[in-house]
Amino acid sequence: MDLIKTRLMNTKGEGIYSGPLDCFVKTLKNEGLMAFYKGYLVASTRTVCWNMIFFIMNEEMNGHLDTEYIKTAEFNVKVLVVGFFVGLFFLVRKVR
């Protein structure tokens, strides 16, 4: 789907493809089935690495919260800080 979407956006206005189905058929005829897997390894590696970092950071930051500490007022501040940093890293990933 990413390949079709990218090709349709890159050839906008040139009239090469009449739509997504036409793009799919022409790509399959001209380049074969493996054309749809171009860049799959790179994209998968990037996603796996990002998810590992995200979940490790989330677990590490949440690991600093004690169950007795939850009852105090400082707990709310820690939750906000943890959420801020996890959200910040998520935002950085989205921007790239």
Burial (CB < 10 A; 0-12, 13-18, 19+), residue 86, is: middle
The 10s digit of each residue's pLDDT in 60-90 is: 777 766 566 666 666 677 777 888 888 888 7
Residue 1, SS3 per DSSP: coil
- Answer whether 26's CB lies under 8 Å from 4's CB: no
Residue 32 Rama label (left phi>0; alpha psi -120 to 50; beta): left
Name, in order, each residue with C-beta under 8 angstroms of 41's C-beta and a sequence gap of 6 or more: none
pLDDT tens digit string along 2-58?
889 889 999 887 889 999 999 999 999 999 999 998 888 888 898 898 889 888 887
Q: Which two tokens stand for residue 52?
A: 């590992």
E strand residue ranges, the chain: none
Residue 23: partners with Cβ closer than 8 Å, 6 or more residues away: 4, 7, 8, 17
